[in-house]
Structure 1
Amino acid sequence: MTDVPTPPMGVVALPTERATGRPNRGARIVASGSILLTTAVAGLVAWQSWASYRLVRDVYSAAPTVTVEQITAAEQRSVWLSWAWVVGLAVSWLAFAAWLWRARVTAARTCDGAHRHRVRWAVLSWLVPVANLWWPQMVVGDVHRASRPTTPARNADLARLKPSLLVTVWWSAFLTAHAVDLVTVFLLADDQTERAFRDIAVATTLSAGLTGAAALAAIVLMGRIDRWQAARPLIR
């Protein structure tokens, strides 16, 4: 049996390996799953919009064959899908905000570069009217810069680092999708003409495509930041 040497009195033996960041893997998995489900619902909304347009087109045709039951069923599906989309969006935001909070904390513990917003704004930035059009992107952008393997842990100037194209794609697709949704709700929803139903179908299809692009970018972004942070040693 080999004797294990003990350090002298008053000397603390330090670990040979430094601790690394611990990303919130659970929040990332929940956020990814809810984002994918919400994207699927957006696709179903687009499908239902085209189905409703075909029903309305039949109503305005010379020899309509659509029944009242078909119209009622289409309206009910539209309502349920709209609520499913709202709930999915809320769950996705909560999970993503929880992940972003942890990612922001870990970024500060692995890199001392100054962020443009404090940790609390990882959540609050989404809730401030008007400012929420760019503040969340700033928070995610700084976390991405601070987490890069090429970013030095000490004395890093995050403002001078190159912005992430992935973050820009994610945020641009996200904002544009919601802008299309707002136009659909406030400008087209009350119009019952055949042309309005066609425009709604086109708008929901565009929104679904943009939502899919934003979802893919967000999932890749979360995975990349988590992987980077798990490999960076803690300095705080």
Structure 2
Amino acid sequence: MEPPALHPLRGVTRCAVAALALAGGAWIARGVWQIRLAKAGQPLSGPPDQGEGRHRPLTALEDSYHFVSACGDVLTVLCALTFLVWLLRARDNARALSGRQPRHALPWVYLGWVVPVANLWVPRGIVADIHRASAPEARLPRTVDVWWGLWLVGAASGAGLMYTGTTDAVVARAYSNVGPLLAADAAVAGAAVACALMVRALTGAQESRTGSPRSGNAIGSTAGG
């Protein structure tokens, strides 16, 4: 019997891995600038946001951190969009390989990241289902759990992915207590690396079912234990 026709993944996998690398690098750059801020110390004039709608002029270092942070935000959004494109194609391929409907309906591919409580397990479940359908006899790659654990740390830290404060507030935190910021940066950067390995592993698992060239074959076999 002919293997099922799958969406090509090599191109989107390369794009996703590149975007993840850029996003991870951006979070490392945030950490470097936060260390620079902490070493420089808060100016005698106080934090940038001085309350009651008053803001003092930024120093050159603070202004450069705003630029680094803005670039990081753009790269993080680009990374998220690229990863979702890969996830949707891999999900469609998994359905073709297994002949079964995915456990999570299509809206959850998007809603699973933002709906409270569900966002603690739905995205990982979608990825695990993709692997289960693509390589039913193989163990779930360890990179899936590493990625998800670091993602949750980075999202729930109060200083990472889901931080809703202003950049000036981050600058003030870097002056007063940089440790939690650096921990969040490290978790997000680590999650990006683990996610890139996971993307390659799952792509390799799917392509191995059809005999296609596998860009992630070696990593997939290693990650599978």
Determine if the TM-score, normalized by the shorter chain, exceeds 0.5: yes
Aligned residue runs from structure 1 range 183-198, under 5 A = 186=165, 190=169, 197-198=175-176
User: d(CA) in 1 for partners of 2:167 and 2:67?
Assistant: 19
Which whole-Å deviations, capped at 9, do the CAs of 1:85-141 have from their partners, x for residues lacking one?
211111111000000000000001001355320244323423434422321111111
How many residue pairs are counted as aligned between the two chains?
Answer: 198
Q: Quick check: 2:37–2:175 contact (8 Å CA) kept in 1?
A: yes
Q: Quick check: 1:24–1:103 contact (8 Å CA) kept in 2?
A: yes
Identity, % of aligned positions: 26
Aligned residue runs from structure 1 range 127-206, under 5 A = 127-148=114-135, 150=137, 164-180=141-157, 181=159, 186=165, 190=169, 197-199=175-177, 201-206=178-183
**Which residue does the alignment assign to 2:193?**
216
Q: CA deviation at 1:168?
A: 1.7
User: d(CA) in 2 for partners of 1:215 and 1:26?
Assistant: 18
The alignment partner of 2:59 has SS state of helix
Please say if 1:75 is aligned against 2:93: no
Larger deviation: 94-103 or 167-176? 167-176
Please say if 1:125 is aligned against 2:112: yes
The unaligned stretches of length 5 or more in structure 2 are 46-57, 212-225
User: d(CA) in 2 for partners of 1:187 and 1:120?
Assistant: 30
The unaligned stretches of length 5 or more in structure 1 are 1-15, 61-70, 152-161
Q: Quick check: 1:22–1:229 contact (8 Å CA) kept in 2?
A: no
User: d(CA) in 2 for partners of 1:165 and 1:202?
Assistant: 28
Please say if 1:90 is aligned against 2:68: no
Instruction: Give the direction of change, closer, same or farther, for the CA distance of 1:192–1:47 in structure 2 (3 Å limit).
Output: closer
Moved over 6 A (4+): none
Query: What RMSD over aligned residues (CA atoms) do the two structures have, in Å?
Result: 3.2
Q: Quick check: 1:170–1:215 contact (8 Å CA) kept in 2?
A: yes
Q: Quick check: 1:166–1:221 contact (8 Å CA) kept in 2?
A: yes
Instruction: Give the direction of change, closer, same or farther, for the CA distance of 1:59–1:121 in structure 2 (3 Å limit).
Output: same
Which whole-Å deviations, capped at 9, do the CAs of 1:188-208 have from their partners, x for residues lacking one?
964987x86242x22232122
The alignment partner of 2:115 has SS state of coil
Instruction: Give the direction of change, closer, same or farther, for the CA distance of 1:58–1:72 in structure 2 (3 Å limit).
Output: closer
Q: CA deviation at 1:166?
A: 2.4
Q: Quick check: 1:50–1:198 contact (8 Å CA) kept in 2?
A: no
**Which residue does the alignment assign to 1:229?**
206
User: d(CA) in 1 for partners of 2:171 and 2:78?
Assistant: 32
Which whole-Å deviations, capped at 9, do the CAs of 1:45-92 have from their partners, x for residues lacking one?
1111111112216859xxxxxxxxxx6111111111221121111111
